[in-house]
Amino acid sequence: MEYIDALELKSTDLNRLIREKLEQDGQVAILNPHSMHNIATGSAVKGRIIIQGSTGFYTGGFLEGTSILVEGNAGWYAGDNMMDGELIITKNAGCNAGSYFYGGTMIIRGNAGSRVGYGMKGGTIVVCGSAGRWAGQMTLGGKLVILGQVGKQIGESMYKGVILVRDSAIRENLGGNVFVDDPTATEKEELDSLFAKYHINAAVGEFMAIRPMTTGRHKYVLFNPELKPTRNEVVF
């Protein structure tokens, strides 16, 4: 495996080297990341990146097919706008992890800050620890799984998608326009496969599903006014 020492590098130079190493060898390890921002942002090369240490903001943002392992914590907006691939964080993630998530899989082995999965549209996000306030806010699709405790207003203003939790106090922390339901048979099967793949020790039968009250409750009407010229106006 190739190694890159990030100690003296700017993020743009580091990401260029990451791309080159992935194209050559298919995998690369990053040493001394020192919480650098924007590591592997926009990476679209198939391969595996191992980051030996904690990262700053936007780790794996706009990821498209690369597999990333962060051996430490990740700052705010990890996996932001992620489209495909895999992002595994062995410790904790800051606020807004997985914002506007489109696809792929993100596993947070520790806790996540507020607004994890904000506006996500697809893919799967798993938080093995607890999640802060507004988890899954304005979710438009995809699957958010939280094994630990959840903060207030979970699922606030959901449109579509599902949030799977096992916190017994979930009903006290629900956001607006959502309700607690039983997972479907398909959701249970998918959850079981997910836990087996990523070696997550959890019983599928303990989970509850959070869903939006109605799907497509917001209706948009195109305003198309009929304008009529006055006497003094010239019509072309």
The mean predicted confidence, pLDDT, of the chain is 93
pTM of the model: 0.90
Inter-residue contact 169 to 201 (CB < 8 Å): no
pLDDT single digits (tens) 49-96: 999 999 999 999 999 999 999 999 999 999 999 999 999 999 999 999
Q: Which two tokens stand for residue 202?
A: 């959890």
Q: Which domains does the chain have, with CATH numbers?
A: 2-212 (2.160.20.60)
H or E, element range at 115: none
Per DSSP, what are the bridge partners of residue 93? 74, 112
pLDDT single digits (tens) 3-62: 999 999 999 999 999 999 999 999 999 999 999 999 999 999 999 999 999 999 999 999
CA distances (Å), origin 218, targets 102, 160, 180, 211, 215: 21, 12, 21, 16, 8
> Which residue has 């947070």 as its token pair?
108
> Which residue has 């990262």 as its token pair?
55
pLDDT single digits (tens) 130-179: 999 999 999 999 999 999 999 999 999 999 999 999 999 999 999 999 99
pLDDT recorded at residue 192: 98
User: 107 — phi, psi (to 5°)?
Assistant: -115, 120
Is the pLDDT assigned to residue 217 strictly greater than 80? no
